[in-house]
Amino acid sequence: MIYLGSHVSMKAPDFMLGSIKEALSYGANACMIYTGPPSNSRRRPVDQLKIDEAHQLMAEHDFDPHRIIVHAPYIINLANSVDPEKSQFGADFLKEELGRTAAIGADTLVLHPGSHVKAGTEIGIQWIIQRLNQVLDADDHPVNIALETMAGKGSECGTTPEQLAEIKAGVHKQERIRICMDTCHLNDAGYDIEDFDSVLDRFTALFGLENIAVIHVNDSKNPLGAHKDRHANIGQGTIGFEALYRVCHHPQLADVTKILETPYVDGEPPYEHEIEALRDHLPIEKADH
């Protein structure tokens, strides 16, 4: 079995119940949600999110709550030393997100490490460490933070596994830091997904296999090392279907949750067809999207 799903919406009126219904409609046994809009801080009280109803539906379909991944909003930038108020806002909001993630019943929150805003990578990394310690030292929720691999666009931190390892090494509660590998981001950062064994070996040497919590499975519109971060649909980009299929079925990653973040096609989600293709090795060109 592989644990494969996609990003799903969480919106009124059904909120989390609607998220699980959407995931099930795609034939998924995993999903990723935002607790609210990813580009702002507006959030509903957790008692309005229909969490109990969602968990009841999950139980009826043997949908493991540990396969719900929460993604932190993009407005969090812990690395921003240029505007410390924004960095502090990010830390405060991250602490709130950990609480919401725990209330939902999930145990993994994916976080973009942050952008140093031209202050330099080392300064950005030190600010990320400082803010993560500020948050985690005062937090006891049973939620891990999975730092996402980044493409190297602009002033992003976390473009190399070594940068992510430096962040983890500086965090007091290192046991709560995990890794989210994004295949598009890795490709755009210069890591060849065709040779995924070598990429995985580099990460496991630094973090251990047990600390790889999530894989975002995305094709890329860009050539290797482009540093642009533009997702493509499965089999429609420069990585290709076969390489992504091998990632999904990699024997060392059987217990790792895989999440699609591919673009909508003609206004419609492609996830049912892409999940089926990646699960059953169906030629992607036969998918009706």
Residue written as token pair 């992607």: 284
According to the annotation, is 216 in a ligand binding site?
yes
Q: Is 261 annotated as a binding residue?
A: yes
Rounded-to-integer distance, Cα 81 and Cα 17, Å: 39
Report the run of H or E that residue 110 belongs to, with start and end: strand 108-111
> For residue 120, which of 80, 63, 172 has the smallest C-alpha distance?
80
Return the residue matching tokens 């019943």: 105
Q: Provide the β-strand partners of residue 145.
A: 109, 177
Residue given tokens 């067809």 in the structure block: 273
Angle at alpha carbon of residue 56, lines to 178 and 111, rounded to 5°: 20
185 is in an annotated binding site: yes
Residue type, 141: H
Q: What are 37's two structure tokens?
A: 């809009």
Report the alpha-carbon distance of residue 216 to residue 17 in Å, rounded. 23
Residue 181 CA to residue 178 CA, distance in Å, equals 10
Q: According to the annotation, is 227 in a ligand binding site?
A: no
Determine if residue 148 is labeled as part of a ligand binding site: yes
The answer to whether the CB of 165 falls within 8 A of the CB of 131 is: no
Q: Is 249 annotated as a binding residue?
A: no
112 annotated as a binding-site residue = yes
Binding annotation = 71, 112, 148, 182, 185, 216, 229, 231, 261
| Binding-site residue positions for Zn(2+) | 71, 112, 148, 182, 185, 216, 229, 231, 261
